[in-house]
Structure 1
Amino acid sequence: MIRIGLVDGPLPETHPVLSEQARLCEADGSPAAANHASAMADTIKAQAGEVHFINAVVFPGRLATSAGTVCAALDWLAENPPEIVLCSFGMAQPSIELTARAHVLMQAGSLVVASAPACGEPVYPAAIDGVVSVQGDARCLPGELSRLDLPQATYGACPAAICDPDIRGASVAAAHMAGLLARLWRGTADDTLTALETAIRYHGRERRTG
């Protein structure tokens, strides 16, 4: 069964496909992070079917974290690298330490997926070489992708969360991508990315007209 490293808020300990969990920050009482993590997990499962989640908790409740906390999460995941690692967030500042840890996971065979903005400057870890960078694309339905090849994002995916219409955007698009990669898994990261080409429906950025 495919293992997905969910670097996010906390999934409930009773979640049916939660395999392992590490809390890397102190909870602050806000429900936002738990709601976000559950929406990401539901969206992934809708695409992938049966998966196991390895939950590295980096959001204390508020949807905010630090590069150091994310590095600790990636270090923990690297102890037993999952097939896919999802980072449904982006940080504005590059980090040598974050880049090094992402590369350790990728060299171990993991596909690292991260969300990217639809416009503006690239964010991290999406901008790290080799990371599968994804932004929301309103043209895409679940299971569909666009190939954008923009400075900030290589792919676009559905921006709407499964089961929670209030959660939308690049974080959800990255979750759709993670689920699709899990469904298409071919044994290696490279072979899976090749198989991903079958899901690409659009080429080039979304054009909006008034």
Structure 2
Amino acid sequence: MIRIGLIDGALPADWPGLAKQRRFCEPDGAPLAETHARAMAETIRSYCEKSEFINAAVFSGRLSTSIEHVCQALNWFSEDPPDIVLCSFGTAKTSLDLSLLTARLLLANCLVVASSPARGETVYPAGTPGVVSVQGDARCAPFEFSKLDLPHAEFGACPFVQGYPDIRGASAAAAHVVGQMAADLCVKSELGKEPLKTAIKYFGRECRSAAE
């Protein structure tokens, strides 16, 4: 099994492949976070059914959190690092703790994948050295990826999640990348970005016409 650390909303307790879960905030009754977490997990499992999830719930119900809660989740993961960690969010500011805890996971040979907005802003943890940064790329269908090499995003991926029309953009794209990495790891036992590069279809940023 490929162990995926999912920092997101809370998955349902009976979710297929849910190995462990911990809440870092109190639920507020809003359904958005659980829906978002389900969409991320389903996308990953569409690539690799042999994925099990360690779910750190940092969204209370709405899709908002704090650096403190994210740091608590990263620290929890560092006790028994997953193979891959998905951070389907970004914050405009970082902190020393966020940088250090992310670096600790990377040193433990854990891949950290984080979403980055297509408008070109640097966010964290995507902007942290060593983190795989991903933005949505409208050119990409599922199982297709782009190598962007932009200051804020290294890769692009499909910005849509099947069955969840309201969830789109960088978070969806990051889940597609994690799914592909999990599938590569399952088949080839290779941890890193190199296997992902075999699935690259586009190089360079998406170009839009002036009329668009």
**Structure 1 stretches lacking a partner, 5+ long:** none
**1:1-210 aligned within 5 A:** 1-185=1-185, 186-189=188-191, 192-209=192-209, 210=211
Secondary structure of the residue that 2:198 maps to in structure 1? Answer: helix
State the shift of 1:188 in Å.
4.8
Instruction: Give the AA of the match of 1:42.
Output: E
Secondary structure of the residue that 2:26 maps to in structure 1? Answer: coil
TM-score calculated relative to the size of structure 2: 0.96
TM-score calculated relative to the size of structure 1: 0.97
The runs of at least 4 aligned residues of structure 1 exceeding 2 Å deviation read 186-189
Alpha-carbon distance change, 193 to 120 in structure 1, aligned in 2, over 3 angstroms: closer
Structure 1 stretch 18-27 or stretch 159-168: which is displaced more? 159-168
What is the alpha-carbon distance in structure 2 between the residues aligned to residue 85 and residue 188 of structure 1?
16
What is the alpha-carbon distance in structure 2 between the residues aligned to residue 78 and residue 163 of structure 1?
33
Instruction: Report the count of equivalent residues.
Output: 208
Instruction: Give the AA of the match of 1:70.
Output: V
RMSD: 0.9
State the shift of 1:163 in Å.
2.0
Instruction: Give the AA of the match of 2:136.
Output: G
Taking only the aligned residue pairs, the percentage that are identical comes to 56
State the shift of 1:194 in Å.
1.2
Secondary structure of the residue that 2:135 maps to in structure 1? Answer: strand
